[in-house]
Amino acid sequence: MSEQVAERSDMWSSSFIFVLAAAGSAVGLGNIWKFPYIAGENGGGAFVLVYLICIAVIGIPVMASEIMLGKLGRASPIQALLNLARTHKRSTGWSCVGYMGVLTGFLILSFYAVVAGWVCYYILRLFSGEFSGADASAVGEAFGDFLADPLQVLLWFSVFMVITIFFVARGVTRGLELCVRYSMPAVFVLLLILIGYGVHAGGFVESVGFLFTPDFSALTPQAILIALGHAFFTLSLGMGAIMAYGAYVPDEVSVGTTTFTIAILDTVLALLAGVAIFAIVFANGLAPDAGPGLLFETVPVAFGNLPGGALFGGLFFLLVALAALTSAISISEPAIAYFSERGKLSRAQIAVVIGAVCWVIGVGSVLSFNVWADVKLPFFDWTFFDSIDKITQLILLPLGGLLIAVIVGHVLPKHVVYEELGLMQTQTQQVWTYIVGYVTPAAVFCVFIIEAIREVLAHI
């Protein structure tokens, strides 16, 4: 047996470790960096409500589908889909979903590592005590100065990329478990401390009001697409990451229970991060729609004004970096698993090649905040960073998710799916088929169509 096969077949030793790994993939920059700033840009409450509905109606069924496909196909997403198609005499064309996922993974990792690089730099910045007693405008300016320096951003992006490749090359199990088991509860506690700061400084009530009082007049059609895309992004769905992890799941693991556990953990963490960050925003009279810099312009203000802030602030960014690392590892897994199966290169060699490709694409995102700040995609007015972010989140992930739901709802034989999910009664079987086969694809499709019409109307 080759080393790779041995490593794969004993990958998750229990259902608990699988949940940890999948939660480690789900909880990351999407929760702590992205969710707060997109909620802020899209008006708060109504956006949050749509996001929660997307998690429930679309995210949960797609996650169950991905875990199931991985478990049934027992290989990289591409190979798993090929295996299933051959076993059940279906078209092997469905494996295109796997190829699309590998491509999407390269694109996501390229910009994800850039933002994770910002986080790495902020670990040192906070530990150094630079922000002690700093006010919001000084902290905002410090972030602007950092982004304006391409070499500095490139350096930290490269540091994060090298660390990721190191862990990916070694094989994921050990480091991953250690990271997730301790870092997630610790992030939780530090977010509670930040909320405590908000309560003390007076931003808490306003923050909760902003995030949980829906004002539908602030909800644009594009915000609905962003919420949908984010539901995929935050749960790591639509490109095969969870499917790749599902391939290593022991047989006795229940798809339903693990799906709910992961989705609930991920959502609670995002909401906590949102409450904490907007408490700081309102306590300091900042604007909620500051964009991608929001995390870096708020959290240092709070820690700068708390006793022991340099230590806890540094620790906070360290934990966010660990959360980003466990996510980044999972983004590369579909590609790593696929190329490992082909057997030509070792896992380490593949990891280096993948890292190099992502690094090259990522340079475009590094430059988007300085040298290329004015280079925009025609019509959309997106920088390189925006383009990669939006094309993956608004198109590729939802499309991948839609196709995954169609495969499970319509392509695979129903009895195979029911058996895997342990659905015995006709009624529950019907509910499942209805949701995954019709509601989920139709919801994604409608949002796509509405958005496409809106774009066309906006440009004629």
Rounded CA-CA distance 155/174 in Å is 27
- Residues whose CB is less than 8 angstroms from the CB of residue 413 and which lie 6 or more positions away in sequence, other chains included: 88
Q: How far is the CB of 282 from ligand TRP (least distance, A)?
A: 24
Q: Which stretch binds ligand TRP (CB under 6 A): 24-32, 44-52, 336-344, 422-430?
A: 24-32
Residue 108 contacts ligand TRP per CB under 6 A: yes
Determine if 31 is a binding residue for ligand TRP (CB under 6 A).
Answer: yes
Q: Which is nearer to ligand TRP, 31 or 267 (CB)?
A: 31
Q: Residues 182-221: x/- map of binding to ligand TRP (CB under 6 A)?
A: ----------------------------------------
Residue 233 as a binder of ligand TRP (CB under 6 A): the answer is: yes
Closest residue (Cβ) to ligand TRP?
Answer: 30
Task: Give the footprint of ligand TRP on residues 46-75 (CB under 6 A).
Answer: none
Which of 236, 259, 298, 332 forms a contact with ligand TRP (CB under 6 A)? 236
- Applying CB under 6 A, the span of 62-70, 230-238, 287-295, 401-409 interacting with ligand TRP comes to 230-238
Name the segment binding ligand TRP (CB under 6 A); options: 146-154, 159-167, 234-242, 452-460: 234-242
Closest by alpha carbon to 47, among 204, 208, 191, 210? 210
**Dist CA 326 CA 265 (whole Å):** 15
Pick out residues in 393-412 that bind ligand TRP (CB under 6 A): 397
Q: Cβ of residue 30: shortest distance to ligand TRP, in angstroms? A: 2
Q: How far is the CB of 243 from ligand TRP (least distance, A)?
A: 10
C-alpha separations of 1 from 5, 70, 185, 338 in Å: 6, 21, 38, 17
Beta strands in 110-173 (DSSP E): none
CB of 272 to ligand TRP, least distance (A): 14
327 binds ligand TRP (CB under 6 A): yes
CB of 383 to ligand TRP, least distance (A): 20
Burial of 285 (0-12, 13-18, 19+ CB in 10 A): exposed
Rounded CA-CA distance 243/271 in Å is 25
Over the Cα atoms of the chain, what is R_g? 21
Q: Distance (Å, rounded) from C-alpha 177 to C-alpha 17?
A: 7
Using alpha carbons, select from 73, 81, 75, 87 the residue that is nearest to residue 99.
81
Q: How far is the CB of 421 from ligand TRP (least distance, A)?
A: 23
284 contacts ligand TRP (rule: CB under 6 A): no
Which residue number, 234 or 259, has a Cβ lying nearer to ligand TRP? 234
Residue 76 touching ligand TRP (CB under 6 A)? no
Question: Which whole-number Å values give the CA distances from 168 to 23, 176, 179, 324, in the listed order?
Answer: 17, 10, 14, 13
Amino acid type, 440: T
Rounded to 10 degrees, what is the CA torsion of 179, 180, 182, 184? 130
Residue 144 CB coordination number (10 Å): 13
Question: Closer CB to ligand TRP, residue 30 or residue 293?
Answer: 30
Our CB check for ligand TRP shows the closer of 48 and 239 to be 239
Q: Are 63 and 25 in contact (CB under 8 A)?
A: no
| Cβ atoms of residues 244 and 312 within 8 Å | no
Does position 239 interact with ligand TRP (CB under 6 A)? The reply is yes
Handedness of CA 301, 306, 311, 313 (dihedral sign): negative
Residue from 8, 17, 22, 25 that binds ligand TRP (CB under 6 A)?
25
Among 168, 169, 184, 241, indicate the residue that binds ligand TRP (CB under 6 A): 241
Q: Are 286 and 135 in contact (CB under 8 A)?
A: no
Does 164 contact ligand TRP by CB under 6 A? Answer: no
Angstrom distances, CA of residue 290 to CA of 119, 215, 294, 444: 17, 19, 5, 28
Q: Which stretch binds ligand TRP (CB under 6 A): 190-198, 231-239, 305-313, 366-374?
A: 231-239
113 contacts ligand TRP (rule: CB under 6 A): no
Under the criterion CB under 6 A, does residue 330 sit at the interface with ligand TRP? yes
**Does 309 contact ligand TRP by CB under 6 A?**
no
Q: Does 110 bind ligand TRP (CB under 6 A)?
A: no
Q: Is 190 exposed, middle or buried (0-12, 13-18, 19+ CB in 10 A)?
A: buried
* Residue positions counted in the chain: 460
Contact pick of 136, 331, 405, 423 for ligand TRP (by CB under 6 A):
331
Q: Pick the stretch among 132-140, 198-206, 229-237, 419-427 that binds ligand TRP (CB under 6 A).
A: 229-237
Residues that bind ligand TRP (CB under 6 A): 25-26, 28-31, 108, 233-234, 236, 239, 241, 327, 330-331, 397
